Each structure stands twice: as structure tokens, then as C-alpha cells.
Amino acid sequence: MLIDLLALAVGAGFIGAISGLGGGVFIVPALVIAAHMPMKVAVGASLISVVATSAGASVAFVRDGWTNLKVAMVLECATVTGAVIGAYLAGVVPAVVLELLFAAMMLQSAYFTVTKRGDDILTKGDPLAERLELSGEVPDLSGNLVHYEVVKVPQGGALMVVAGLMSGLLGIGSGALKVMAMDYIMHLPLKVSSATSNFMIGVTAGAGALVFLARGDVATTIAAPVAIGVTAGALAGSRVLPHLKVESLRTVFVIILLLIAAEMGWRALTGI
């Protein structure tokens, strides 16, 4: 049992890291479908493991300057609000609703993976972003620093509340939603959006995890090996990532996400 759980978690962490979607997206269905855990147990264990993977990956991203710390701090106000409400509701929302929502989030992640686009860097930010000093610099392909500005903070924040809500309800980092908010709406460069999203996920999942832990809704014997396994898998994934042609794996990720969405949707609708 322990070895099976560790293996599942290492696999979920590994795929989560190389797909850029995070371990939660894969560990929740792995626990529900393969380990026959109830949705609530899977969500609690996943939230805690997501805190660990976020911290592990953020060490390098923050040190190397990819994370926009001020954007993270501003948007965390929105995600933490959503996450606390979501985690509180997770205790009362029926499992069937959670499974359907999970399937919907998988479809959103698949859509995001297919429609990822290039950077659209702005040289003029809006007044609120300027007042909050959210602009930053990012190296281009030749290593020269490119200055970028940020726009539409309130709109990005509104989507972050939804991302936090989904995170607290479903035990995932909602990385795909967060990156979409920063990349599509606020015009941050994609790599900065990914690193900043990863950094914020720690607080979002942490807020949800605290609700679950304080309520006694975490199965420690499940959450502990999952946290260790997902962290180890994510670490291995991030080491392998530079040597992989991730673009060619995109179709595989989309197929996996669609299969998970179908399986979770089917379970919810048939009550299996």
C-alpha cells in the first residue's frame, strides 16, 4: 500500500512537472481512480503536496529572477480569499459536484495546453500597475534584459479569486487558470507567468490545506507519502525537463487530461 501510494505520487509529480500543470491535477484522479480514495481524502492530501511542490520549484525560479514577487503578492490577496471559501465549502459540497467541477478544470487545462501562445510584451502599464510597481525585466533569447509592463490588475485578480476557489474545492494548484490570468489578461511574459503562478500556488494551496488540517479532514497516512512522492517526482521532472522536447509531448498531455476529465465526469454522473 505504502509503496503503491509513493509510486502513484512520484508519477503524478513527474508528469505534473514536465507538463507544467502541477502535481495536483494528476494526484487527485490517481487517488480517486487508482487508490479508491473518496474525493475529500484526495483533495486534502493533494492540497498539502501542492504546497511542497510549489516551495521546491520556487527556490530556483525566485533565485534566478523569473518570479515577479510583487505581482504574486498583489494577486495572492485574491487567490487566498477564493481558497479559504473553497476549502470551507469542500466540506459541504457533494462529491458529485466536486467530480464534475474537476472534470471541467481538466478540460480548461487541456484547452490551455493547446492554446499556449507567445509573449505579448507591453511597454506601457496602466496606472494601478505602475502605482504598485509591478513591472519587471526578463532576459530574451540572446540574454538581453527586456522590460515589461503590466495591465488590467483588477480583471486578473477577479480570475484569481476563481482560481483560488477551485484550488480550495478541488485540491489542485489551478496553475493553468493562474497562468492564463497573468499571460492573457495582464500581459506578463509566459515564463514569468508560469514561475509567478507556481510561487503563488503555495499560498493558495496552503490556505486550503490549513482549513483541511485544522478540521481534521486530512488522512495523515495518505497525505504524508503523497507529499514525499509528489515532491520527489516533481524534482525528477524538473531535472529531466531541459532534455525533453515538451512540445512533442503536448498531444500526450492533452489526451491524458481529456481521459481524466471523461473518467471523473463518468464517475460523477453514474455514481461509480
Partner 1 sequence: MSKQDEDRILREWTPILLRSILIAAMVLLGAGLVLTYTFAPDYYVERYQAAQHGHLIGKEKFGLLLDRVRQGNPHAVLTIGLFVLTLVPLARVAFCFILFIRERDYTYVALTAYVLAGLIVGGLLGSVG
Kindly list the residues in this chain that would bind partner 1 in the complex (CB under 8 A): 1-2, 35-38, 40-41, 48, 51-52, 54-56, 58-60, 62-63, 65, 69-70, 73-74, 76-77, 80-81, 83-84, 87-88, 91, 131-133, 202-203, 205-225, 227-228, 231
Asked if 38 contacts 222 with a C-beta cutoff of 8 angstroms, the reply is: no
Q: How far is the CB of 116 from partner 1 (least distance, A)?
A: 27
Q: How far is the CB of 263 from partner 1 (least distance, A)?
A: 18
Compute the distance between CA of residue 98 and CA of residue 92 in angstroms, rounded to an integer. 10
Residue 179: which residues within 8 A CB-CB, separation 6 or more?
A: 112, 190, 193, 194, 197
Provide Rg for the chain, Cα atoms: 18
Contact 81, 163 (CB under 8 A): no
Specify the residue, 120 or 137, whose C-beta has the smaller distance to partner 1: 137
Least separation in angstroms between CB 257 and partner 1: 25
DSSP E strand boundaries for the chain: 136-139, 145-148
CB of residue 248 to partner 1, shortest distance in Å: 32
- Cα–Cα distance list, 167 to 67, 80, 86, 88 (Å): 20, 10, 7, 11
> Could you tell me the smallest distance in angstroms from the CB atom of residue 220 to partner 1?
4
Residue 62 vs 254, nearer CB to partner 1: 62
Closest to partner 1 by CB, 83 or 180: 83
Q: How far is the CB of 119 from partner 1 (least distance, A)?
A: 22
Query: Which residues have a Cβ under 8 Å from the Cβ of 258 and sit 6 or more positions away?
Result: 106, 107, 110
Query: Which residue lies nearer to partner 1 by CB, 84 or 261?
Result: 84
Between 60 and 269, whose beta carbon lies closer to partner 1? Answer: 60
Mapping DSSP to helix (H, G, I), strand (E, B) and coil, where does residue 212 land? helix
Q: Return the HEC string of 5-46.
A: HHHHHHHHHHHHHHHCCCCHHHHHHHHHHHCCCCHHHHHHHH
Q: Which is nearer to partner 1, 69 or 269 (CB)?
A: 69
Looking at the Cβ atoms of 113 and 204, the one nearer to partner 1 is: 204
Q: What span, in angstroms and rounded, lies between the C-alpha atoms of 71 and 149?
A: 11
Q: How far is the CB of 170 from partner 1 (least distance, A)?
A: 16
Helix/strand/coil for 148: strand
